[in-house]
Amino acid sequence: MKRIVELADQHIAHLDVGPEDPTGQPLLLLHGGAVDSRMWHLQLDAFPERRVLAPDARGHGGSSDAEGPFRLVDDVLALLDALEIEQVVAVGVSMGGGTACDLAIESPTRVAGIVVGGTGTSEPVFEDPWALQAFADWRAAEQRGDLQGWIDVLQRFTAGPHRTLDQVDPAVRDLVDAMARDTLEQHLRTDADGTPILPLPPTPVTGTWQLLDRVDVPVLALCGALDGPDHIANGRRLAETVTDGEYVEVPGASHYPNLERPELFNGALRDLLRRISPPRR
């Protein structure tokens, strides 16, 4: 059951699980774009000693739509403040990974470590033809109101450039499909003619690659080995740029390694948690 935090300008839906007396910093799980907190179902109960939070980003799941300019990192901070949580270990994939990195850059005392998958900072660099074509096709599907085409392009990232969607575990591709369809059904508005109105995108945090010297906590770039070359390169760059970075590839997985190889993803996260110092006072 999702809980709701009501704020002055929005409501934030989130999953909140854990023991009555948790140890260590809570885990904050941040999902990718077009999906929602359900993508973390294989992590929610994998760390029974800790409190685990998985919010829906604005415009996703059970959270509010954007009515004006907003930043994803500010929404995360608003949730932590509302729940009176001082410090977390932030784990994010794709869009959520960028937000985790923004959190470490802008509010370094609020994180004890971050795990970033499928991206580097929130300003990923894309140069590979496979990714550039996918993003171009995604924009074209948006502009012509082709919702099925939009989902089909999203699923290219689920598979990655090295295999077809038929080679992905049906449970994974079906979950991504269901989350994406729910995002469109619940959050896509239309005008009087039924033409989709594109949602307001978040305001980006800028200059992130130049600000990574602010990040002095452990950083794990945990990328699927079958993900696109640019996604992998951004993760490597992040791990190599920060003071305490590590790059780990998850074999047999693409953009959602936590869903495709949860045992390896969770194991790597546990290794990071063992390295993290006690909460700061």
Q: Is the pTM of this model over 0.95?
A: yes
Report, as an integer, the average pLDDT of 240-250.
Answer: 98
Please tell me the distance from the alpha carbon of residue 18 to that of residue 52, in angstroms, as a whole number.
6
- What is the tens place of the pLDDT at every residue in 74-105? 999 999 999 999 999 999 999 999 999 999 99
DSSP state of 108: G
Domains and CATH numbers, the chain: 3-125+201-275 (3.40.50.1820), 129-197 (no CATH)
17: three-class secondary structure by DSSP = strand
What average pLDDT is seen over the chain?
A: 95
Alpha helices in the chain (DSSP H): 72-82, 95-106, 129-143, 147-159, 170-187, 229-241, 257-260, 262-275
Q: Is the pLDDT of residue 280 over 50?
A: no
Q: Would the pLDDT of 279 be above 60?
A: no
Instruction: Determine how many CB atoms are found less than 10 A away from the CB of residue 151.
Output: 18
Q: In the prediction, which pLDDT does 125 show? A: 97
Per-residue model confidence as pLDDT tens digits over 97-113:
999 999 999 999 999 99
